[in-house]
């Protein structure tokens, strides 16, 4: 990014053009940020210092490249920040899936095609359009693919505020969108940052998070977050957390499902994000029956493939362990063949949980006859939701 660009348009004119092209390419919103993220730097390193990043080493190893755009891409003069809605309103309701313990809950963003490539290709198309007006234009496109402080950039570009759940929320659009950026060598005038924090006295996400992972000051302790545990972490999950995970087998959406701003979510306009894998209705035992070949075949193009078959089975065992007792569950767990020690540990835990639930069910039946135990064993699920 070292050559100064030659521009055939006024920069402010070009900026309106970029916004127009972005909308035509299907982005839900687009803004421009400056490159000074210094006010976020201390918060970022405090978060790392507290070990809230768990074992995501990629959050540490790039040092200040994440908070100083010019260290990642020398010559960067402004950042174009975009969002793309992914919520598919035609998918089975998130609540009904979460409330049916024999079903598998998969986070909304992963029901469909992987977004990483799609976002970057779309950003590249935008860059090509800019390049037609600007000689020596240089850029780099990102979407969750490099040490970039995407949420802080989006806030500076006016795309929304950081909610207590730590996600970017726009008052007219909620939070069900992906973020992406173009770091570029043009000094495009920055938009006004989104200053107003919109949470007010609401604490729904903090109260409803199944594992109490949301800390003060809009921070997440990844070590407790179900999204981290099911997607990023490949080890043995602590029993205390397993029990709270319910039937969530890939990611978690509770802190978005309870957010009142998500009443205003628009349906995705992207065909690629329309539910094709039938994962919105999936049943735990049906998914446990997939061997590795089936897992890879069925999940072609899905972000879920990245966690691999062992982690998939580990997550399924946890969810089945949290389910009400059934002979089918117990048989499926006992018949599961795996060489992975981690999966074996979760399998043994799940068998124990099922046996406990069986015992409790028997006691409960007797108890209920005597009116002693009014509620049967249920996994942790969130009782109140907005939207879907």
Report the interface residues with ligand B12, using CB under 6 A: 39-40, 43-44, 47, 56, 59, 107, 109, 143-144, 148-152, 162, 165-168, 175, 177-179, 217-218, 220, 222, 225, 227-228, 232, 251-253, 255
The answer to whether 164 contacts ligand SF4 (rule: CB under 6 A) is: yes
Closest approach, Cβ 327 to ligand B12, in A, equals: 32
Closest CB to ligand SF4 among residues 159, 351: 159
* Cβ neighbours of residue 287 closer than 8 Å, sequence gap 6 or more: 104, 249, 312, 316
Near ligand SF4 by CB under 6 A: residue from 205, 307, 316, 357: 205
For residues 126 and 140, give the distance between their C-alpha atoms in angstroms, rounded to a whole number.
11
Unique residue bearing structure tokens 């008052």: 171
- Buried residues in 236-272 as b, exposed as e (16+ CB within 10 A): ebeeebbbbbbbbbbbbbbbbbbbbbbeebeebebee
- How many residues line the site for ligand SF4 (CB under 6 A)? 24
Binding-site partner at residue 209 among ligand B12, ligand SF4, none, CB < 5 to 8 Å by type? ligand SF4
Binding-site partner at residue 243 among ligand SF4, ligand B12, none, CB < 5 to 8 Å by type? none
Segment near ligand SF4 (CB under 6 A); pick from 180-188, 225-233, 325-333, 361-369: 225-233
CA dist list (Å): 60 to 35, 48, 55, 65, 235: 20, 7, 9, 10, 20
User: Catalytic site residue 239?
Assistant: no
Closest approach, Cβ 244 to ligand SF4, in A, equals: 9
The answer to whether 110 contacts ligand SF4 (rule: CB under 6 A) is: no
* Cβ neighbours of residue 248 closer than 8 Å, sequence gap 6 or more: 98, 105, 107, 210, 226, 230, 319
Among all residues, whose Cβ is closest to ligand SF4?
Answer: 163
* Cβ neighbours of residue 158 closer than 8 Å, sequence gap 6 or more: 31, 191, 192, 193, 194
Say whether 221 sits in a helix, a strand or coil: coil
For residues 150 and 223, give the distance between their C-alpha atoms in angstroms, rounded to a whole number.
21
* In contact, 97 and 248? CB cutoff 8 Å: no
Q: Which long-range contacts (CB under 8 A, 24 or more apart) does 96-99 make?
A: 97/247, 97/280, 97/281, 98/246, 98/247, 98/248, 98/381, 98/382, 99/381
Q: Among residues 144, 207, 239, 253, which one is catalytic?
A: 144
The answer to whether 319 contacts ligand SF4 (rule: CB under 6 A) is: no
Segment near ligand SF4 (CB under 6 A); pick from 114-122, 142-150, 231-239, 257-265: 257-265
Segment near ligand SF4 (CB under 6 A); pick from 79-87, 109-117, 218-226, 337-345: 218-226
Near ligand SF4 by CB under 6 A: residue from 5, 31, 69, 163: 163
Segment near ligand SF4 (CB under 6 A); pick from 127-135, 152-160, 203-211, 354-362: 203-211
Q: Which of 116, 110, 183 is nearest to 153 (CA)?
A: 183
The answer to whether 204 contacts ligand SF4 (rule: CB under 6 A) is: yes
Near ligand SF4 by CB under 6 A: residue from 87, 261, 295, 312: 261
Chain positions contacting ligand SF4, by CB under 6 A: 163-165, 199, 202-205, 209-211, 213-214, 220, 225-227, 252, 254-255, 258-261
Catalytic residue numbers, as ranges: 144
């Amino acid at each position: 990014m070292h050559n100064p660009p030659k521009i055939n348009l006024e920069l402010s004119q070009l900026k309106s053009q970029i916004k127009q092209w972005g909308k035509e390419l299907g982005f839900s919103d687009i803004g421009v940020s400056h490159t000074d993220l210094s006010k976020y730097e201390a918060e970022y390193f405090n978060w790392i210092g507290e070990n809230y990043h768990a074992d995501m080493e990629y959050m540490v190893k790039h040092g200040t490249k994440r908070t100083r755009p010019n260290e990642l891409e020398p010559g960067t003069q402004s950042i174009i920040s975009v969002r793309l809605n992914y919520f598919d309103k035609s998918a089975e309701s998130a609540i009904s899936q979460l409330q049916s313990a024999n079903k598998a809950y998969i986070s909304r963003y992963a029901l469909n095609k992987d977004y990483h490539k799609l976002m970057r290709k779309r950003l590249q198309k935008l860059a090509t359009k800019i390049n037609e007006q600007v000689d020596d234009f240089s850029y780099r496109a990102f979407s969750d693919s490099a040490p970039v402080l995407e949420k802080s950039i989006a806030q500076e570009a006016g795309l929304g505020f950081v909610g207590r759940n730590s996600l970017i929320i726009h008052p007219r659009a909620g939070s069900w969108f992906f973020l992406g950026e173009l770091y570029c060598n043009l000094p495009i005038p920055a938009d006004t940052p989104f200053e107003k924090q919109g949470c007010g006295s609401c604490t729904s996400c903090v109260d409803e998070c199944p594992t109490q992972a949301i800390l003060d000051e809009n921070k997440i302790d990844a070590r407790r977050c179900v999204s981290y545990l099911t997607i990023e972490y490949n080890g043995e999950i602590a029993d205390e957390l397993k029990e709270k995970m319910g039937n969530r087998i890939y990611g978690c959406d509770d802190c978005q499902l309870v957010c009142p701003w998500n009443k205003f979510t628009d349906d995705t306009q992207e065909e690629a994000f329309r539910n094709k894998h039938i994962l919105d209705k999936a049943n735990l035992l049906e998914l446990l029956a997939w061997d590795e070949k089936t897992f890879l075949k069925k999940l072609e193009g899905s972000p879920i493939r990245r966690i691999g078959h062992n982690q998939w089975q580990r997550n399924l065992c946890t969810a089945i362990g949290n389910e009400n007792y059934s002979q089918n569950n117990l048989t499926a767990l006992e018949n599961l063949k795996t060489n992975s020690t981690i999966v074996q540990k979760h399998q043994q835990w799940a068998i124990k949980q099922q046996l406990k639930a069986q015992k409790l069910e028997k006691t409960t039946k007797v108890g209920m006859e005597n009116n002693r135990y009014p509620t049967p064993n249920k996994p942790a699920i969130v009782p109140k939701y907005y939207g879907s």
